[in-house]
Chain A
Amino acid sequence: MRKNGVKMIKIKAKDVDVFYGKKQALFNISLDIEENQVTALIGPSGCGKSTFLRCLNRMNDVIDICSVKGEILINDFNINDKSCDVVRLREKIGMVFQKPNPFPKTLYENVSYGPTIHGMAQSKQEMDEIVETSLKKAALWEEVKDRLHEPGTGLSGGQQQRLCIARAISVRPEVILMDEPCSALDPIATAQIEELIDELKKEHTIIIVTHSMAQAARVSQNTGFFHLGQLIEHGSTDKIFKNPDNKKTQDYITGRFG
């Protein structure tokens, strides 16, 4: 989103280093992420794009041996600061995983879980509303409105992933992180999700890690190219795909490696 022609920066990563034990996985990553845009992170397997994504909602905390250095500013607040509470952070920054991972509960419980633990609804009606709007935004409402109290695991893969998206947006996060959300889905489901991403960016800032360059080209406005733990190049998707500055980026884009 541009206001008066100035890009609004939502997330600002400064000199981020990540270590798994002694092994360094990310080197000196500095990246600005624009508000209400889709930013794609691409690169060959093991290049650190998912690791970087997980830094943004501190999911790396779960891994004992993982340590993160550097600053990540979200709304000018450093989330790596000790004063940052991860629960409140993750309320603001939703995440969708590679493999659909709905809770083995009903559809309704899946979507209402976040609002429940964050105390977002005062009454049953309010909760019903949240569930309905979330499912509608995730383009799943029409398919499931009659079976909200059936288990979420009974849906097809694509539906499950949209359920996970509905779950993520139910707490109205400012940012949604997507870690290869379509890699386990067929082309039709993928197209549905991509369409959805385009719709969601009106209200949310989206960062998507993807293996598919075609997908990055289709859905994103900005792209960052990672290689061996380094951010090689980033910029508008148009530029990265048509006229990259770096030779490595060009080689990767044109399919010469990776």
Chain B
Amino acid sequence: MNKNKEQLLNKRYKAEQRFRLYGLSAIFMALLFLTIFIFKIFSTGYSAFQKTWLIVPVTFDAELMMLDQNPSKEDLQDADYYDIALKSMADLDPNANEDQENELKRMVSYFFEKEIKNELLNDPNLIGKTKEVYLTASDDLDQVFKGNYPRDLPEDQRRVSDYQLKIFDQLVANGKVESKFNISFFTNADSREAELAGIASSFMDSIFSILVCLMIAFPVAVLAAIYLEEFAPKNRFTDFIEVNINNLAAVPSIVFGLLGLGVLLAIFQLPRSTPLVGGITLSLMTLPTIIIAARASLKAVPPSIREAALAMGASRMQTTMHHTVPLSMPGTLSGTIIGLAQALGETAPLILIGMVAFVNTIPGSPMDPAASLPVQIYIWAESAERGFVEKVSACIMVLLGFLIIMNLFAQIIRHKFEKKWS
């Protein structure tokens, strides 16, 4: 009898130990996946925050620039920089033939002419003098410098020629190649050239989309939730609505994209590829999430508070507005932020409404075309150039950072403003 009991006890302990082990291994697995994911993204992405520059001596030859004596500001603006730019690249190898000169030119971004121009505009006294100018290296050489380029491949299989590599290695040996923080990644819009592409456009687009989404989804959802929870009679019709709201939350996001395409673009003729349309489409998606969160937090307000207010002679409306809604706000707000964070990472519906377009301007308002951060990731991931690989990861890092900040904000709101009742 006693022995039997001891066995039972042992069994119970063992069962608990096993269960703990399962739980721990589950957590370990989850953490492992997360670590691998983050490691992969960081290890490919961190280099995108550095940009490679070639330091090239440029002679600002007035004659080549077609400048007269004492040129005015306008003259400097209109001057011809192409020749001196070309010449300074060609001068890297005095013995270069024409083909090789062309290859030398392709070692820097097509933006090099403008970089030289800016140098002179900053300091007009440079005319007739020679100065070492920082020129953005081409994306391939950028990758070479970062060690991401397969130099061992046969020459006909790479975009960087042996000649370019030879010159580049000389420059490196002379200390004429430098890596600096990549500011243009944050200030430039998208570009076909990986070395010039940045996230400014898509970042602004995401912000505009989220704002539009918030301004539409939040009031509609909160009003719907308050009405359903506090005022609507409980009958079959409201049950039906509730079921449908829950179903709406489970609708695949691409369906909302089709809706946006069919209704917003086709019927209402709103401008294509704009944050306005994107935000409206995303708000359809966010609506059920916020309604569900708001209803849950309204439900969580203890009925005794409502009774207290009603018994004081407050009307239903006063009870709701003075007590229930303020008490439910922290939960509603954090639900809203989570819904917005979801919308922020959404790609499929935006692609359908044409936000996948290549946009190389930074939008100044929700009516300007742009592509949002996740769509930017998609666009770059589709690009063939090697230089875009690290950009994809870097853009993911920015998006993740954005999401983490939003979720953190949701947590803070929840903890700071949540009132405790007895």
State the A residues within 8 Å of B (CB): 57, 59, 62, 64, 87-91, 94-95, 97, 99-104, 113-114, 117-118, 153, 157, 160, 164, 167-168, 171
Contacts and interface: CB of A to CB of B under 8 A. Distances in A.
Contact of B318 (A94, A117, A153, A160): A117
Nearest to A92: B313
A167 B234 contact: no
Contact of A62 (B310, B323, B327): B310
B315 A160 contact: no
A84 to B, nearest CB: 13
Nearest to B312: A114
Interface string B200-236: 0000000000000000000000000000000001100
B234 A160 contact: no
Given A87-B315, A104-B327, A113-B314, 7 more contacts: A59-B311, A87-B313, A97-B307, A114-B312, A117-B318, A153-B419, A160-B422
A103 B313 contact: no
29 contacts: A62-B306, A62-B307, A62-B310, A64-B233, A64-B234, A90-B310, A90-B311, A90-B312, A91-B313, A94-B312, A95-B311, A97-B307, A99-B304, A100-B422, A101-B305, A102-B308, A102-B422, A103-B323, A104-B327, A113-B312, A113-B314, A117-B312, A117-B322, A153-B420, A153-B421, A157-B422, A167-B308, A167-B312, A168-B312
A62 B308 CA distance: 12
A59 B421 contact: no
Nearest to B304: A101
B259 interface: no
Nearest to A88: B313
Contact of A94 (B305, B306, B311): B311
B133 interface: no
Given A59-B310, A94-B311, A117-B313, A104 B304 contact: no
A62 B422 CA distance: 22
Contacts of A89: 313
Given A64-B233, A117-B318, A104 B419 contact: yes
Interface of B: 233-234, 302, 304-315, 318, 322-323, 327, 419-422
Contact of A164 (B302, B308, B322): B308
A165 B314 CA distance: 17
Nearest to A116: B322
A164 to B, nearest CB: 7
Contacts of A153: 419-422
Contacts of B311: 57, 59, 90, 94-95, 97, 168
A29 B323 CA distance: 35
A254 B312 CA distance: 37
Nearest to A173: B313
A229 B306 CA distance: 26
Contacts of B234: 64
A157 B422 CA distance: 9
Given A64-B233, A87-B315, A103 B305 contact: yes
B314 A117 contact: yes
Closest 4 CB pairs of A and B: A101-B304, A90-B313, A95-B311, A91-B313
Contacts of B302: 101
B300 to A, nearest CB: 13
Contacts of B306: 62
Nearest to A58: B310
A89 B315 CA distance: 11
B230 to A, nearest CB: 11
A153 B323 CA distance: 14
Contacts of A99: 304
B312 to A, nearest CB: 4
B95 to A, nearest CB: 84
A241 to B, nearest CB: 30
A89 to B, nearest CB: 8
Given A64-B233, A153-B421, A101 B308 contact: yes
